[in-house]
């Protein structure tokens, strides 16, 4: 990564007027995307991720703030003068042009020499495995192939950054998974910064170097997939990424940077906390379902979190079995048990069970360090 | 067996209608054009091809004039209709329906009446020329009524919706993101229009040309109401041959000639433009 960010937003926001009221689709946002980074904007629909991307592309003007591309202020610069290219949600291929003509469109506008265009389009079609499809019209291609044309059409220009707006949304599951791997490979191959807009958390986790989780027009959390999954900053992030178990309670005692929350005799949760947390602090704790052990026998180890509860539901998922347990602490916890060793269920509905997990698998949400 | 017949039975009502009101008159007219005689003594089919030769020789000027008026009208229509269709399709938003209704609103008044009201606008001392002449901006001898300008103006006015609607439909079907994609790929607004929007609107223009050139070329109202003897179009000639001179063979021969010329023109046009490509885009 070089020093200058490929894309930088400083205080960028977008206000819309709706029925006389001003609505902030994007609240003042600061964001820096590094050179060659695979960066995802993740969030539910209406969270402002697409608007943010369109402000980078130049299709929307920010109501305030500055957009930098490679250190240059491009706020107010028309889309066709910005050195970024976009892959649209529905591909938006030119229906009256062939695959080749679609890919060559940008280079022709830039007045690149004919021979050079032929060479670069040929190369790009090879990268996206579409050699031999040059003369096809978009109508004669499958969804996956159209997707590749859209990608090639943007990448062939060698943009500073590629903006992808839910590019895999229209594909079926199998093809989508295949394209995820493919996209990642292509990104490594061409070394261009990708900004990827998606509402699919699995997609974002698989492909991204960093993810910005957006909600209600602002970024809730920005971090690596691991950070976002393991240490969700807000309740929203914890809930939106994967399945999360949330426990509310207040700290009874702290020793060695680990807080103890007692829910009943022999029922406790241990959680590492920063120094700002003291006795009596109310905490919201997130535990991922695959970290929890479920057993019908009382646990032997003393230095881990233990809760008891009643199994309410057992769902077999092939690779794992999912249990929903109503704990005596009040919350319903979900437990994923890998079906690696046993073919039998660990417990059935109505059974009393013990749930245990190590202290480092509890994470206090929204606590200042 | 019933299943095999079903499609043909479905075609029957429309088919009979066409047979009765299209094929029968056509055959009658073709036969009429090859007959000799007069209204009083009756007509006899003699296969007299000379009628065609005479009709074309006598009315060549009106025939050519009609085609020229039709062509000029069509070109002006494209120029006038495209911006209107473009505006409604891309900027109409919630008012689209209202705007389209306004476009069609004049059609609730009779075609002839609307054309006659243009007389009041274009007449020498009318609301348009009167003030200009009073102000000394135009010579007193200047006039529009009775000139080709007035006739073509009337034709353009009367056929405008027939050009706007098909272009509008074609533009309406364009995914705005396709235009954005062009802008994203370094096309200025003008280039995006030329390379993407216009080619995608071509099927609409094509349909509009078909819907206006043919009726405009054979129109007889605009020239009759707004023109003069120097703007006589072939439609007027046919009408007067039928209804005034009762010269049925000549009128029929002229009708057939006009039809043949228009058909050839339309096919040549379709060939030149490459209907297949146009239809490909239309079928997307």
- C-alpha span between B133 and A16 (Å, rounded): 52
Which residues from chain A sit within 8 angstroms of residue B284, using beta carbons?
95, 138-139
Answer yes or no: is B78 within a domain.
yes
Which parts of chain A fold into alpha helices (H)? Answer: 49-57, 99-109, 114-127, 143-155, 173-190, 201-207, 225-230, 235-240
β-strand pairing of A7-18 with A64-69? antiparallel
Altogether, the residues listed in chain A come to a count of: 369
Query: Hey, of A55, A80, A149, which one would you mutate to test binding to chain B, going by the most B CBs within 10 A of its CB?
Result: A80
Q: What string of pLDDT tens digits covers the 284 residues of chain B?
A: 557 888 888 888 988 998 899 899 999 989 988 888 887 888 888 888 888 998 898 999 999 999 999 999 999 999 999 999 999 999 988 899 999 999 989 888 888 898 998 888 888 777 887 888 888 777 777 888 889 999 999 999 999 999 999 999 999 999 999 999 999 999 999 999 999 999 999 989 988 998 899 999 999 899 999 988 888 999 999 999 888 888 889 999 999 999 999 989 888 888 877 655 555 544 44
Q: What are the φ and ψ backbone dihedral angles of A134, each rounded to 5 degrees?
A: -50, -40
Q: Tokens 């986790």, residue?
A: A205
Give residues 49 to 108 of A whose Cβ lies within 8 Å of B: 57, 59, 78-81, 84-86, 88-90, 92-96, 105-106
| Structure tokens that stand for A194 in this block | 């990708």
Residue B137 near residue B150 (C-beta atoms within 8 A): no
The residue of chain B nearest to residue A81, with distances taken between CA atoms, is B186
The residue of chain A nearest to residue B283, with distances taken between CA atoms, is A139
Q: What's the CATH number where B273 sits?
A: 1.10.3720.10
Residue A71 near residue B192 (C-beta atoms within 8 A): no
- C-alpha span between A334 and A292 (Å, rounded): 9
Q: Is A153 helix (H, G, I), strand (E, B) or coil?
A: helix
List of E strands, A172-257: 193-198, 210-215, 218-223, 245-250, 253-255
> Across the interface, do B177 and A106 touch by the CB < 8 Å criterion?
no
Which residues from chain B sit within 8 angstroms of residue A157, using beta carbons?
185-186
Across chain A, which has 369 residues, the per-10-residue mean pLDDT values are 80 87 89 94 92 94 93 92 91 94 95 94 90 91 91 92 89 85 88 93 92 94 94 91 88 90 87 89 91 87 87 90 88 88 80 92 85
Nearest to B181 among A88, A110, A137 (CB): A88
> Across the interface, do B187 and A95 touch by the CB < 8 Å criterion?
no
> Across the interface, do B177 and A153 touch by the CB < 8 Å criterion?
no
| Structure tokens that stand for B283 in this block | 């079928």
Which residues from chain B sit within 8 angstroms of residue A109, using beta carbons?
185-187, 191
The single-letter DSSP state of residue A91 is B
| Structure tokens that stand for B216 in this block | 């405009």
Q: Is A310 helix (H, G, I), strand (E, B) or coil?
A: strand
Walk across the sheet containing A7-18 and list its strands: A21-33, A7-18, A64-69, A72-73
CATH of range A7-240; options 3.40.50.360, 3.40.309.10, 3.10.20.30, 3.40.50.300: 3.40.50.300
**CA of B174 to nearest chain A CA: how many angstroms apart?**
10
Answer yes or no: is B13 within a domain.
no
Report which of A163, A168, A166, A162 is spatially closest to residue A143, judged by C-alpha positions. A168
- Tally Cβ neighbours within 10 Å of residue A330: 11
Report which of A295, A304, A354, A343 is spatially closest to residue A321, judged by C-alpha positions. A343
Report which of A191, A231, A192 is spatially closest to residue A211, judged by C-alpha positions. A231
A214-254: pLDDT as tens digits: 999 999 999 999 999 999 999 999 989 988 889 988 899 99
Instruction: Report how many domains make up chain B.
Output: 1
CA distances from A93 to A161, B50, B177, B205 (A): 19, 58, 9, 22
Largest CA distance in chain A: 79
Answer yes or no: is B233 within a domain.
yes
**CA of A91 to nearest chain B CA: how many angstroms apart?**
8
A75-119: pLDDT as tens digits: 999 999 999 999 998 899 999 999 999 999 999 999 999 999 999
Report which of A340, A351, A361 is spatially closest to residue A294, judged by C-alpha positions. A351
Can you give the residue range of the structural domain that contains B259? 50-282
Domain A245-364, CATH 3.40.630.40 — does that match?
A: no
- C-alpha span between B28 and A225 (Å, rounded): 82
The residue of chain A nearest to residue B279, with distances taken between CA atoms, is A96
**CA of B45 to nearest chain A CA: how many angstroms apart?**
53
Answer yes or no: is B14 within a domain.
no
Domains of chain A by residue range: 7-240, 245-364
Answer yes or no: is B72 within a domain.
yes
- C-alpha span between A60 and B139 (Å, rounded): 54
- C-alpha span between A77 and B34 (Å, rounded): 71
Report which of B116, B148, B130, B172 is spatially closest to residue B229, judged by C-alpha positions. B148
Give residues 101 to 130 of A whose Cβ lies within 8 Å of B: 105-106, 109-110
Q: Tokens 């490594």, residue?
A: A188
Element (H, E) at A164: strand A161-165
């Amino acid at each position: 990564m070089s020093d200058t960010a490929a894309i930088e937003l400083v205080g960028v926001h977008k206000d819309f007027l709706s029925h006389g009221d001003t609505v902030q689709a994007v609240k003042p946002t600061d964001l820096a995307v590094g050179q060659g980074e695979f960066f995802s904007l993740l969030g539910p629909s209406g969270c402002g991720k697409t608007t943010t991307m369109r402000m980078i592309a130049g299709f929307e003007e920010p109501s305030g703030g500055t957009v930098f591309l490679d250190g240059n202020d491009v706020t107010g610069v028309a889309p066709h003068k910005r050195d970024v290219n976009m892959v649209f949600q529905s591909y938006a291929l030119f229906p009256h042009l062939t695959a080749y003509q679609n890919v060559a469109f940008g280079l022709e506008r830039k007045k690149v020499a004919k021979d050079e265009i032929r060479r670069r389009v040929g190369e790009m079609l090879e990268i996206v495995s579409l050699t031999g499809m040059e003369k096809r019209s978009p109508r004669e291609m499958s969804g996956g192939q159209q997707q590749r044309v859209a990608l090639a059409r943007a990448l062939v220009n060698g943009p500073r950054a590629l903006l992808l707006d839910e590019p895999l949304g229209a594909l079926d599951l199998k093809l989508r998974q295949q394209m995820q791997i493919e996209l990642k490979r292509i990104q490594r191959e061409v070394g261009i910064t990708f900004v990827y807009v998606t509402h699919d958390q699995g997609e974002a986790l698989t492909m991204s170097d960093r993810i910005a989780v957006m909600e209600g027009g602002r970024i809730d959390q920005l971090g690596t997939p691991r950070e976002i999954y393991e240490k969700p900053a807000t309740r929203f992030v914890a809930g939106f990424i994967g399945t999360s178990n949330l426990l509310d309670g207040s700290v009874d005692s702290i020793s060695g940077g680990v807080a103890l929350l007692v829910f009943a005799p022999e029922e406790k949760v241990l959680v590492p906390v920063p120094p700002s947390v003291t006795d009596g602090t109310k905490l919201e704790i997130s535990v991922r379902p695959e970290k929890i052990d479920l057993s019908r026998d009382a646990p032997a180890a003393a230095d881990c979190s233990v809760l008891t509860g009643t199994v309410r539901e057992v769902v077999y998922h092939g690779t794992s079995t999912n249990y929903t347990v109503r704990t005596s602490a009040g919350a319903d916890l979900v437990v994923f048990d890998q079906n690696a060793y046993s073919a039998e269920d660990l417990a059935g509905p109505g059974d009393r069970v013990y749930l245990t997990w190590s202290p480092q698998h509890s994470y206090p949400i929204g606590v200042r360090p | 067996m019933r299943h095999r017949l079903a499609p043909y039975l479905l075609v029957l009502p429309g088919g009979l209608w066409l047979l009765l009101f299209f094929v029968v008159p056509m055959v009658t007219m073709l036969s009429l054009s090859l007959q000799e005689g007069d209204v009083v003594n009756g007509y006899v089919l003699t296969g007299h091809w000379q009628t065609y030769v005479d009709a074309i020789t006598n009315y060549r000027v009106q025939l050519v004039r009609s085609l020229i008026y039709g062509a000029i009208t069509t070109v002006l229509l494209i120029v006038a209709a495209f911006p209107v269709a473009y505006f409604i399709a891309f900027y109409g938003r919630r008012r689209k329906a209202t705007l389209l209704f306004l476009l069609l609103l004049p059609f609730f008044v009779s075609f002839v009446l609307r054309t006659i009201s243009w007389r009041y606008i274009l007449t020498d001392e009318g609301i348009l020329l009167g003030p200009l002449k009073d102000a000394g901006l135009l010579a007193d001898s200047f006039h529009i009524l009775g000139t080709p300008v007035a006739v073509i103006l009337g034709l353009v006015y009367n056929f405008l919706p027939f050009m706007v609607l098909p272009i509008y439909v074609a533009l309406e079907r364009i995914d705005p993101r396709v235009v954005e994609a062009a802008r994203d790929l370094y096309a200025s607004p003008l280039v995006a229009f030329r390379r993407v929007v216009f080619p995608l609107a071509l099927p609409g223009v094509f349909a509009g040309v078909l819907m206006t050139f043919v009726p405009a070329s054979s129109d007889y109202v605009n020239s009759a109401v707004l023109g003069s003897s120097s703007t006589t179009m072939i439609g007027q000639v046919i009408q007067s041959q039928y209804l005034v001179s009762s010269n049925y063979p000549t009128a029929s021969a002229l009708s057939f000639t006009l039809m043949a010329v228009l058909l050839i023109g339309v096919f040549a046009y379709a060939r030149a433009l490459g209907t297949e490509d146009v239809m490909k885009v239309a079928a997307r």
